[in-house]
Amino acid sequence: MSAGAKSRRVKLPEEASVIFALLVLVGIVGALRPTFLKPENLLNLAASYSISALLAGCIVYLLSMGEIDLSFGWILNLSAVVAGLSMIAGVPVWIAIILGIGAGGFMGAINGVLTVVMRLPLIIVTLGTASIFQGLSLISNKSGSVVPTEKKLTENIFFRVLGGDIETPVPFILIFVVFAFLVLHLTLHKTRFGYRILAIGSNPEAARLAGIPTKKIKILTCTLMGVVSGIGGILFLGFRGAVDPSTGANLLLPVVAAAIIGGTPLSGGAGTVWGSLIGALIVGVIGVGIVFLGIDAVWSTLVTGLVIIFAIGVDQIVRVRKNRAS
């Protein structure tokens, strides 16, 4: 990664331990139920967890900045509702998609402006806006599902590709999300925007004194979270073909869990985008693996919680050891 270091030491990537944990989990489930390891099954698993993975890749930005957004699930929902209703109203599909993503970006920007203007942590602001977005969604969808059923719509290439009507060797949604991760990774770890986010998360006062426009960066990062949630909403609409009033309601845990399990601390200043992808897959393997093992699916939430505590615990032990050593 650091091209400048001349004496290149052999160094494992920081994601190594998470990758190892993922392989162990897959190995355990695969050993007990060999059908789990079939490529099509693994691809399906990855595809169905790809949206929460995408959101995890972006929540890493906020965690790195020392903030957390609680509203992204409802941004996703409302964006999908906006796009779906527009399509049903006769707006061309591609314009409706842009409207949906734009709505997501707008909601993210509102979160950002509120947190900067009111000088409150984002967690508090989004506690409120989450309900506002959910409320707006319920008002516009009249508490029912939004389902674009017209043939003209369902036969649009957007729905056919995402929904799997057109066969691709690898689900399209997966290709898209992997590409998005590449962009998210490069932006956070290789550009000035990303460096500024990490600087704010590490030491806000020093960031200000270094001349970083901290307020602007906060608003931009929140807007990015909104845009990505909006994209998530569009992907959901295309993948499932409908938006329910409860869509996005249960995203907070798997998404934040994926980022934390992946190795991003809640305290800010550090983060790993690739780690969150692995984290999302771990959450996915737990969820699907439990079904494969014949355990009631209701257990998966509990197990995810245990894995979070385990991941944070290991991380904390390593940190305390390091502090003692220095």
Partner 1 sequence: MNTQSVHNVISVRGLSKRYGGVKALNGLDLDLAANKVHAIVGENGAGKSTFMKILSGGVTPDEGSIEVMGEKFSSFTVQSASKLGIGIMYQELRLFQHRDVLTNLFPDREMRIGPFIARKKMAQIALPVFKSIGLDVPLDRIVGEVPLSDQQLIELARVLIEKPKLLILDEPTSALNARESKRLLDLVKALPAQGTTVLYVSHRLDEVFAVADHITVMRNGSLVFSKPTTELDIPTVIGGIVGEKAASSIAKKTGSADLYASAEKVLEVKNLSNGKQVLDISLNVAAGEIVGVAGLIGSGADELLETLFGARPKVAGTVTVQGVEKTHLSPQNSVRDGVALIPADRKRVGLMLERTVSDNLSHISVGGYKKGTVLISYKGLAAAAMKIVDKFAIKTESVQVRVGNLSGGNQQKVVIGKWLEISPGLVLLDDPTRGVDIGAKVELFRLVREIAAEGKGILFRSTEISELTTLCDRIVVVKDGVSTREVIGVDDGELIKLINE
Binding site for partner 1 (CB under 8 A): 1-5, 7, 9, 186, 190-192, 195-196, 198-199, 201-203, 205-207, 209-212, 268-270, 322, 326
Q: φ, ψ for residue 277 (rounded to 5)?
A: -65, -45
- As measured in angstroms, the least distance from the Cβ of 7 to partner 1 is 8
CA atoms within 13 A on the CB side of 21: 25
Nearer of residues 248 and 265 to partner 1, judged by Cβ: 265
- As measured in angstroms, the least distance from the Cβ of 65 to partner 1 is 12
169/101 Cα distance (integer angstroms): 27
- As measured in angstroms, the least distance from the Cβ of 318 to partner 1 is 12
**DSSP character for 36?**
G
Nearer of residues 15 and 286 to partner 1, judged by Cβ: 15
Beta carbons of 226 and 108 less than 8 angstroms apart: yes
- As measured in angstroms, the least distance from the Cβ of 188 to partner 1 is 11
User: What sign results for the dihedral spanned by CA atoms 30, 31, 34, 38?
Assistant: positive
- As measured in angstroms, the least distance from the Cβ of 83 to partner 1 is 29
Beta carbons of 97 and 234 less than 8 angstroms apart: yes
Q: φ, ψ for residue 243 (rounded to 5)?
A: -120, 125
Beta carbons of 100 and 233 less than 8 angstroms apart: yes
Nearer of residues 214 and 247 to partner 1, judged by Cβ: 214
Rg (CA), the chain: 20
Nearer of residues 151 and 322 to partner 1, judged by Cβ: 322
Nearer of residues 119 and 151 to partner 1, judged by Cβ: 119
Nearer of residues 128 and 269 to partner 1, judged by Cβ: 269
The SS3 call for residue 122 is helix
Q: φ, ψ for residue 169 (rounded to 5)?
A: -55, -35
- As measured in angstroms, the least distance from the Cβ of 320 to partner 1 is 13
- As measured in angstroms, the least distance from the Cβ of 207 to partner 1 is 8
Nearer of residues 133 and 181 to partner 1, judged by Cβ: 181
Nearer of residues 140 and 187 to partner 1, judged by Cβ: 187
Chain centroid to Cα 26, Å, comes to 21
- As measured in angstroms, the least distance from the Cβ of 208 to partner 1 is 10
263/276 Cα distance (integer angstroms): 7
- The torsion region of residue 66 among left (phi > 0), alpha (psi -120 to 50) and beta comes to left
Tokens 């162990």 sit on residue: 24
